[in-house]
């Protein structure tokens, strides 16, 4: 009799233990992730970050274009040239922004999936609680500026030296490439005369 009671008790406790250890269903976790993104104002934050990064990118793009052309330095100050450059930068920014806006809903779904895979529902509840605080809201408000400044610093500290190294190594590369092409005219797409 005691044995049957113990078996019945063990069987009765088993579903509770299994249920307590089962992760939240994917739909619940994804819904919680969407709630978190809403509290974080993720779509607005992403738009602001894009705007800030686009301003930094177009400025950097203009500088790189001018540095990599064979144009005399005074051309950069010519109003007609500046207008051409600005139209180019505006087209790049407009096309990038249009593509971004078209993909924003998919991006939010992708981000929700990322949060759902990497955080539990209780962890997301904690983040939601934090982002509803004044400090959490201050963090969210300043995040586009912080992100853009960090991206600029990262670009300047990594891409600047990388571009300089590539520019310095380019003449030797071109020389070696020419020598190789002279030895291998068929592979280089030229015919030796």
Dump pLDDT digits (tens) for 129-173. Answer: 999 999 999 998 898 788 778 878 887 788 777 777 878 888 888
Alpha-carbon span 188 to 65, nearest angstrom = 28
Alpha-carbon span 132 to 140, nearest angstrom = 10
List, in order, residues 6 or more apart from 58 with CB less than 8 Å away: 89, 92, 93
Distances (CA, A) of 157 to 55, 68, 100, 142: 19, 19, 27, 22
Distances (CA, A) of 167 to 66, 68, 79, 173: 14, 9, 28, 10
List, in order, residues 6 or more apart from 139 with CB less than 8 Å away: 131
pLDDT tens, position by position, 51-92: 777 777 777 777 777 776 666 676 777 888 888 888 888 888
Cβ–Cβ < 8 Å for 43, 108 = yes
Alpha-carbon span 140 to 137, nearest angstrom = 5
What is the band of 33 on the pLDDT scale with cuts at 50, 70, 90? very high
Task: Kindly write down the DSSP assignment for every residue of 59-108, as one continuous string.
Answer: HHHHHHHHHTS---GGGGG-HHHHHHHHHHHHHHHHHHHHHHHHHHHHHH
């Amino acid at each position: 009799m005691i044995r049957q009671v113990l078996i019945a008790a063990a069987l009765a406790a088993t579903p509770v233990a299994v249920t307590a250890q089962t992760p939240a269903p994917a739909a619940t976790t994804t819904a919680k992730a969407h709630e978190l993104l809403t509290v974080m104002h993720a779509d607005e934050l992403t738009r602001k970050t894009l705007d800030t990064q686009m301003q930094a990118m177009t400025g950097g793009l203009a500088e790189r274009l001018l540095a990599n052309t064979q144009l005399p330095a005074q051309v950069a100050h010519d109003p007609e040239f500046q207008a051409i450059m600005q139209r180019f930068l505006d087209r790049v920014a407009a096309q990038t922004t249009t593509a971004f806006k078209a993909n924003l809903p998919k991006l939010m779904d992708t981000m929700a999936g990322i949060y759902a895979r990497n955080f539990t529902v209780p962890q997301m509840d904690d983040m939601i609680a934090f982002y509803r605080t004044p400090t959490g809201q201050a963090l969210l408000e300043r995040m586009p500026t912080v992100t853009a400044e960090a991206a600029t610093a990262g670009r300047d500290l990594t891409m600047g030296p990388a571009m300089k190294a590539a520019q310095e190594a380019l003449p030797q590369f071109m020389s070696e490439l020419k020598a190789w092409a002279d030895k291998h005219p068929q592979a280089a797409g030229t015919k030796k005369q």
